[in-house]
């Protein structure tokens, strides 16, 4: 499959710097396709790749990846029709039950996800759900805090991919389980904000089975000539729509069989 790149290398660097600045200063920018209407998803991945190289060069550590836009609820909420992937750095993690600052984000939202930790390398193309399950050490519940850098949280595929899939923070916790000990299709989740239920769902909402999202991620990595190393932390995508949060909010995500993940938000 040939990649469709329309941006010049100089434009990739320029857009990478624009995204990096918006992330670092938490300010919203217009979606990239306003200026580059012919941008493709492959162009988006070229910008994301440049961003990852820049972060690594700055001494930041890669811990894993995230699949995004893998449930219908998320695709409908964001008006897109395909999944995407993004990378996760160690410094994006926040401890369970901690106070998470919001002044360093534009318009954060929370979503419940099943996370996988791998014990063997996974490689595409053609990676399957079963290969993912065989390579999984354990699964655990996670909350991703996404924060699009685009005005109004509105974007299209090329733009959101360049913005690293809106990745901002993540909190893992609850109870780790072996994948063979739980039915990963039927896990119920309840998201509470300030004691009220704001979203509910079941894990099958993620491509029928969350391991399917990890296989999809591995296959997208393969298109970029990359593998998923053993020991990776990988999030499979929001099960329900994402919920906006502001200072003062407290959030609990309760997962059947996997326990719960809590956090609160401060200025």
Our CA dihedral for 156, 162, 168, 172, rounded to 10 degrees, sits at: 90
Report the partner that residue 179 touches, choosing among ligand OOG, Mg ion, none (CB closer than 5 to 8 A by kind): none
Would you put residue 24 in left (φ > 0), alpha (ψ -120 to 50) or beta? alpha
Main-chain phi, psi angles of 162, to 5 degrees: -60, -35
Smallest separation (angstroms) from ligand OOG to the CB of 218? 17
Report the partner that residue 232 touches, choosing among Mg ion, ligand OOG, none (CB closer than 5 to 8 A by kind): none
Among 20, 42, 43, 144, binds Mg ion (CB under 5 A): 144
Binding to Mg ion (CB under 5 A) within 230-249 occurs at 238
Smallest separation (angstroms) from Mg ion to the CB of 74? 8
Strand partners, 115: 140, 235
Report the partner that residue 108 touches, choosing among ligand OOG, Mg ion, none (CB closer than 5 to 8 A by kind): none
Nearer to ligand OOG, 33 or 148 (CB): 148
59, burial (CB in 10 Å: exposed 0-12, middle 13-18, buried 19+): exposed
**DSSP annotation of 58:** T
Other Cβ atoms closer than 10 A to 104: 14
Task: List interacting residues with ligand OOG (CB under 6 A).
Answer: 66, 68-70, 74, 78, 111, 113, 144, 146, 148, 160, 165-166, 237-238, 242
Within a 13 Å sphere around the CA of 132, how many CA atoms are in the beta-carbon half? 28
The pair of three-digit structure tokens given for residue 220, joined into one six-digit string: 């997208």
Smallest separation (angstroms) from Mg ion to the CB of 263? 15
Binding to Mg ion (CB under 5 A) within 44-73 occurs at 68
Smallest separation (angstroms) from Mg ion to the CB of 205? 13
| String of contacts with Mg ion for each residue 22-41, x by CB under 5 A | --------------------
3-state secondary structure of 162: helix
Nearer to Mg ion, 14 or 154 (CB): 154
Q: Which residues, in sequence order, are CB contacts of 25 under 8 Å at separation 6+?
A: none
Smallest separation (angstroms) from ligand OOG to the CB of 233? 14
Interface positions with Mg ion (CB under 5 A): 68, 144, 238
């Amino acid at each position: 499959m040939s990649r469709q790149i329309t941006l010049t290398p100089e434009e990739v660097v320029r857009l990478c710097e624009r995204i990096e600045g918006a992330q670092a200063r938490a300010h919203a920018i217009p979606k990239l396709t306003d200026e580059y209407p012919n941008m493709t998803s492959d162009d988006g991945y070229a910008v994301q790749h440049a961003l990852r190289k820049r972060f690594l060069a700055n001494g930041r550590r890669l811990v894993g990846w995230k699949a995004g836009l893998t449930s219908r609820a998320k695709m409908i909420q964001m008006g897109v029709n395909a999944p995407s992937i993004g990378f996760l750095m160690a410094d994006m993690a926040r401890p369970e039950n901690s106070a998470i600052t919001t002044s360093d984000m534009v318009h954060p939202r929370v979503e419940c996800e099943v996370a996988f930790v791998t014990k063997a390398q996974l490689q595409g193309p053609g990676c399957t759900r079963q290969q993912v399950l065989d390579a999984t050490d354990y699964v655990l519940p996670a909350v991703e805090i996404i924060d699009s850098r685009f005005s109004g949280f509105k974007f299209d595929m090329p733009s959101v991919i360049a913005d690293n899939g809106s990745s901002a923070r993540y909190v893992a916790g609850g109870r780790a389980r072996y994948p063979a000990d739980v039915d990963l299709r039927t896990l119920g989740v309840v998201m509470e904000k300030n004691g009220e239920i704001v979203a509910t769902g079941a894990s099958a909402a993620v491509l029928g089975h969350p391991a399917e999202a990890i296989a999809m991620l591995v296959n997208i990595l393969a298109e970029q000539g990359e593998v998923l190393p053993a020991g990776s932390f990988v999030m499979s995508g929001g099960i329900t729509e994402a919920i906006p949060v502001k200072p003062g909010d407290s959030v609990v995500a309760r997962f059947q069989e996997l326990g719960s993940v809590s956090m609160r938000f401060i200025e």
